[in-house]
Amino acid sequence: MEALVNEKVRQNLPVEVRHTTFQQAMEEGALAFFGEKYGEQVRLVEINTVTPRFSLELCGGTHCHRTGDVGAFVIVDETSVAAGIRRIEALTGRGAIEFVRRTLDDLDALAARLGTSREGLGQRLQALLEEQDALRRRIRDLERSLAAGPSAERLVEQAQQVDGVRLVTARIDVPSIDALRYVGDAMRQRLGSGVAVLGAVIEGRPSFLTVVTQDLTERLHAGELVRRVAAVAGGGGGGRPDLGQGGGKDAGKLDEALSQAVAIVREMLAPSGRGP
């Protein structure tokens, strides 16, 4: 559309304005975009009165004598105003030229920061996105490697017995929820049979993860366990029988919440204490 308008601007076609009846305008094939909102007398704008006519429509706001008066036409926005109807916003004349100039200046400044040319921005951006994806994969692999390392083994060695069930409770230092899950996966592999309740402060908020090995899911529900533990820190959670995740509001109560894990597990192991 932008290219078509600018083509007609360059052709400097004549613009004729006349007043006629709504009925006459319709008979001439004029476009009317506002349905029954027109009165009996209407303002008719015709671009290029000679054959082939370019445009004939009812309009109250066109004041150019020739299309060349517009100077330039640049679309700056497009929105939906109703089903099947789009609205465009555009700049003309000096405003359009200034907009293009500002845009080019911004592109040049961005290209300079990225060490490339305006024409090379697309390729440079693609390279940066690929590099970012590679770094994310590397971070993920490192987090998994750390989670599966000696720290998980030491945590299992510190497990305590609660009514015949091995329980590991620990506050760990991890940078993300994903890293917390990786530690949970490592704990599941090393426990053999048992329960793990892990806590960490991530981005200033307490986060909890519970793991219940498959042989114990009839007696303990990980989602219910994490819900009760996180409640001590003013939060909540849930999950599957073998894996639960939750969060709290008060990071200062993380250790208190973990310290309650033994009592919570003992209560849930009691005949009437198990959750969902």
Q: CA 86, CA 24: separation in Å to the nearest integer?
A: 28
Q: CA 161, CA 146: separation in Å to the nearest integer?
A: 26
Q: Which of 245, 258, 180, 253 lies closest to 212 in space, CA to CA?
A: 245
Q: CA 68, CA 15: separation in Å to the nearest integer?
A: 10
Cβ 95 vs Cβ 103: under 8 Å: no
Rounded to two decimals, the pTM is 0.54
Polymer length of the chain: 276
150-269 in CATH: which number?
3.10.310.40
Instruction: Report CA-CA distances (Å) from 203 to 132, 198, 208, 246.
Output: 21, 16, 13, 14
Which residue is it, tokens 């219940």?
212
The per-residue DSSP string of 163-210 comes to: TTEEEEEEE---SSHHHHHHHHHHHHHHHSS-EEEEEEEETTEEEEEE
Q: For position 147, what pLDDT does the model report?
A: 58
Q: Is the peptide bond before 241 cis (omega within 30 degrees of 0)?
A: no
Indicate the domain borders of the chain: 2-107, 114-147, 150-269
Cβ 42 vs Cβ 57: under 8 Å: no
Cβ 196 vs Cβ 229: under 8 Å: no
2-107 in CATH: which number?
3.30.980.10
At 72, list the tokens.
């330039």
CB atoms near residue 41 (< 10 Å): 10
Beta-sheet strand order (sheet of 41-47): 15-21, 41-47, 55-58
Q: Determine the residue type at 7.
A: E
The per-residue DSSP string of 47-88 comes to: E--SSSP-EEEE-S----SBGGGG--EEEEEEEEEETTEEEE
Q: Which of 242, 207, 238 lies closest to 223 in space, CA to CA?
A: 238
Instruction: Report CA-CA distances (Å) from 231 to 16, 244, 258, 272.
Output: 75, 13, 11, 20
Per-10-residue mean pLDDT of the chain, 276 residues long, equals 92 90 87 75 84 82 86 93 87 95 95 94 94 87 62 83 94 87 88 94 94 95 97 95 96 95 95 61
